[in-house]
């Protein structure tokens, strides 16, 4: 089989994936969320993209360990906690819960480990102490510790910044105790009223960048195969992770493949702008759209491309919608029809042409738009075959399998909401019965088909009665 190729920001090209470690287990680390509020569409974009990379590699037969952190101490969390009248840990924990709630609905698999800053304080402090000891970091008299950027010759290799542009970017007043404008904080001395931990340099808390270097080392080792994150983290966060880790371990590369998800830009009218924070929380989006529609919408764009999330209001009723998600709805309806209601055993031949075409698309840096194209070709073949009375089971098995690799679960959400939707389905089924009594056959069929698309099967019994069930 052809190799999997992953684009790496570090090399600027697609590189073949070969496990770094002799045990063959791929080590994958993704910079997670800072839980300062509910997760938003940018988070969905990033974590769905990383979830697909992981699912695909496991499907391809790789063993993989996936770690994703939570930055549960941060200036913005502290600010938010103050406005919410609770301590910063309570605020962080509440939004971590919120993260799991929406990511579970989006069918994002859970990581093997979720390190947090507060539970990794010991390895973080040790990492800083070791950097000071080998001469790559220095404490100030005030109680801060700075990383000495000038001591790491490869600084800038990820973001391809030269020394001058680094200086321009850092041209601001030198903070007290800092020797070079490019140096960054590993440890920040405690400010009054803020959470603080003990350290050899006095009470304080870690800078943002050091946590990931320490957590990667602690959970996955000195070198990892894949490091993921949003493209906005390339500089300075990931550049600084490389500097910290490679300075301490002397092993390069710290991460072989740097997989960066493109950014989400928000488009919308002025009306939207002031309430953008709420409109782009996933909880809000998922009130209006099925999670599988949102997931499909995200996968229809390659993970490295930027994605526009356009909010529109309907002139008539003022209701808002997301441009493009309606397309996702009808696309998923087509796939559901192709999956069909006929029973399908998991055992049996699987259409290998489709699997091969899908693999070719995904091997090329996880090209989900092309992979979806393969899936729609397959769905079309199933529908044509069904009309012609041909055996479609091998193709349907392939469809089930490939949708699963992309984490598209076309039945689960309806089932999850069974109790909530029950009364509405009852109502529609009753309306349909009346239409049939009135011999309005085509309208009645329309309702039945629309329900089928949503995963609801209506079974007509004797005497005009009907029962319904939700497909799993």
**Closest distance of CB 245 from Zn ion, Å:** 11
| Alpha carbon distance 265, 218 (integer Å) | 34
Token pair belonging to 254 = 């710290």
Q: Which residues bind Zn ion (CB under 5 A)?
A: 31, 212
> Cis link prior to 284 (omega < 30° from 0)?
no
In the complex with Zn ion, which residue's Cβ is closer, 142 or 252?
Answer: 252
> What's the closest the beta carbon of residue 18 comes to Zn ion, in angstroms?
24
Considering the complex, state which of residue 31 and residue 224 has its C-beta at the smaller distance from Zn ion: 31
Nearest to 425 by CA among 366, 364, 466: 466
Q: Which two tokens stand for residue 10?
A: 């570090």
- Smallest distance from the beta carbon of 397 to Zn ion, in angstroms? 40
Q: Which is nearer to Zn ion, 33 or 362 (CB)?
A: 33
Taking the least distance from each CB to Zn ion, the nearer of 230 and 407 is: 230
Q: Which is nearer to Zn ion, 31 or 67 (CB)?
A: 31
Cis status, amide bond into 432, omega within 30 of 0: no
Question: CA–CA separation, 239 vs 74, rounded Å?
Answer: 20
Task: Please provide the distance, in angstroms rounded to a whole number, between the alpha carbons at the two ends of the chain.
Answer: 33
The residue (of 31 and 331) whose beta carbon lies closer to Zn ion is 31
- Shortest distance (Å) from residue 228 CB to Zn ion: 10
The distance of closest approach from Cβ of residue 406 to Zn ion in the complex, given in angstroms and rounded to an integer, is: 26
Is the Cβ of residue 31 or residue 92 nearer to Zn ion in the bound state? 31
**Bridge partners of 65?**
27
> What's the closest the beta carbon of residue 170 comes to Zn ion, in angstroms?
20
CB of 407 to Zn ion, least distance (A): 23
Closest CA relative to residue 149, chosen from 126, 170, 180:
180
Instruction: In angstroms, give the least distance from the CB of 82 to Zn ion.
Output: 25
In this complex, which beta carbon is closest to Zn ion, that of residue 10 or of residue 212?
212
Residue 69 CB, nearest approach to Zn ion (Å)? 7
User: Which is closer to Zn ion, CB of 218 or CB of 377?
Assistant: 218
Q: Do residues 142 and 178 lie in contact, with contact meaning Cβ atoms separated by under 8 Å? A: no
Local structure of 15: helix, strand or coil: strand
């Amino acid at each position: 089989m052809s190799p999997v190729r992953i684009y790496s920001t570090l090399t600027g090209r697609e590189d073949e994936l070969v496990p770094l470690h002799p045990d063959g287990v791929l080590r994958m680390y993704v910079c997670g969320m800072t839980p300062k509020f509910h997760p938003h569409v940018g988070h969905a974009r990033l974590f769905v993209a990383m979830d697909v990379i992981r699912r695909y590699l496991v499907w391809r037969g790789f063993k993989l360990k996936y770690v994703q952190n939570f930055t549960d101490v941060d200036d913005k969390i502290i600010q938010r906690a103050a406005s919410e009248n609770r301590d910063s840990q309570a605020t962080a924990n509440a939004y971590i819960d919120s993260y799991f709630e929406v990511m579970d609905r989006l069918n994002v698999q859970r990581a093997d480990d979720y390190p947090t800053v507060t539970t990794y304080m010991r390895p973080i402090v040790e990492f800083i102490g070791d950097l000071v000891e080998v001469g790559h970091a220095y404490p100030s008299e005030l109680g801060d510790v700075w990383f000495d950027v000038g001591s790491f010759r490869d600084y800038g290799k990820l973001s391809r910044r030269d020394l001058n542009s680094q200086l321009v970017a850092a041209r601001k007043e030198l903070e007290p105790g800092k020797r070079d404008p490019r140096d960054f904080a590993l440890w920040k001395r405690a400010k009054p009223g803020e959470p603080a931990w003990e350290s050899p340099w006095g009470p304080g808390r870690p800078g943002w960048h050091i946590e990931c270097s320490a957590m990667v080392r602690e959970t996955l080792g000195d070198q990892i195969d894949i490091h993921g994150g949003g493209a906005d983290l390339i500089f300075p966060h990931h550049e600084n992770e490389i500097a910290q880790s490679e300075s301490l371990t002397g092993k390069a590369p710290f991460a072989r493949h740097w997989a960066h998800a493109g950014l989400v830009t928000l488009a919308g009218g002025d009306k939207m702008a002031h309430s953008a924070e709420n409109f782009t929380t996933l909880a809000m989006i998922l009130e209006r759209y099925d999670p599988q529609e949102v997931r499909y919408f995200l996968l229809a764009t390659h993970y490295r491309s930027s994605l526009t999330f356009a909010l529109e209001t309907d002139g008539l009723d003022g209701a808002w919608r997301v441009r493009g998600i309606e397309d996702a709805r009808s696309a998923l309806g087509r796939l559901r029809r192709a999956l069909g209601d006929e029973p399908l055993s998991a055992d049996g031949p699987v259409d290998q042409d489709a699997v091969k075409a899908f693999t070719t698309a995904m091997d090329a840096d996880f090209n989900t738009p092309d992979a979806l194209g393969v899936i729609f070709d397959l769905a079309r073949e199933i529908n044509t075959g069904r009309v012609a009375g041909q055996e479609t089971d091998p193709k349907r098995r392939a469809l089930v399998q490939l949708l699963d690799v992309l984490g598209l679960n076309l039945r689960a959400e309806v089932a999850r909401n069974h109790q909530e939707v029950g009364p509405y389905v009852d109502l529609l089924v009753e309306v349909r019965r009346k239409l049939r009594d009135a011999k309005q056959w085509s309208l009645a069929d329309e309702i039945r088909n629309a329900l089928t698309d949503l995963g609801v099967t209506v079974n007509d019994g004797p005497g005009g009665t009907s029962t319904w069930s939700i497909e799993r």
